[in-house]
Amino acid sequence: MTGITADIGVIGGSGLYSLLDDASGIQQPTPYGHASDSITVGELAGRRVAFLPRHGRGHRLPPHRVNYRANLSALDALGVTQVIAVGAVGSLTPEIPAGSLVVPDQIVDRTSGRAQTFFDGPGAAHASFADPYCASGRAIALQTARTNGWEAVDGGTHVVIEGPRFSTRAESRWYAAQGWSVVGMTAHPEAVLARELGMCCTPLCLVTDLDAGAQSGEGVTHEEVLAAFASNLERLRHLLGDLVKALPEERDCDCAAMKAVIV
């Protein structure tokens, strides 16, 4: 143990490093290997916050190579009980245009081969995951966004694909036909691992593009996604500061009680 602690964790892109004041970078060992990168711990809005770049510095880890178990285990070891998960997503409908902020309430897992539980045996633990995200955190995020003049989309389904390729038009149209809202590559197993640890997980999904089946032209490019995310970075920073301040110091939700235990 390093002696450094935090109660709120932010998982997101490397452009968010400048969030924290009086920050220290630490390597937190875990039973699952190395986290994506060192964790920066510092002050934000009067709270102790740990920031972890999901893909590592320089975006070096593709989504299917992120060590999600190590990331969440490292945050847990630092004392984090509430996680804000920031991610870029594609919209599956023109009604949610680029630049929108979505706070989904559901996930569909279309990944394959990812380690998605801390419980590999012996013994079994079964996490309750009917509602993947913290209800209290979602409500606070929506209100905080509204106060910041950013009317976020309340709810919707985030379909998580394996990546690193983007969807075909046929896949994208199929996802949209199911009534799903946005598509991304990292929300699973991040959210379920947070649930197994009894953490609150609050999603902030920034729409960077219309997915292939929702637009004409040549389809989504990585450069387009990065540019759209960068153009909204300052707005996200302000929102995160206010959200960290608004999250309760004493949790009033059921997430801790849903921590998975071996039966």
Residues 64-74 pLDDT 10s: 999 999 999 99
pTM to 2 decimals? Answer: 0.93
Region 74-89: mean pLDDT is: 96
> Which CATH fold topology does 8-249 show?
Rossmann fold (3.40.50)
pLDDT tier at 225 (50, 70, 90 boundaries)? low
* pLDDT confidence of residue 219: 58
Domain-by-domain residue ranges, the chain? 8-249
Do 158 and 106 form a contact (C-beta atoms < 8 A)? yes
pLDDT tier at 105 (50, 70, 90 boundaries)? very high
Mean pLDDT for the chain overall = 91
Known catalytic residues are 209, 211
Q: Two tokens at 74? A: 């490292």
Known binding residues for substrate: 185, 209-211
Higher pLDDT, 143 or 233: 143
CA proximity to 22, closest of 55, 53, 54, 46: 46
Known binding residues for phosphate: 14, 54-55, 186
pLDDT tier at 13 (50, 70, 90 boundaries)? confident
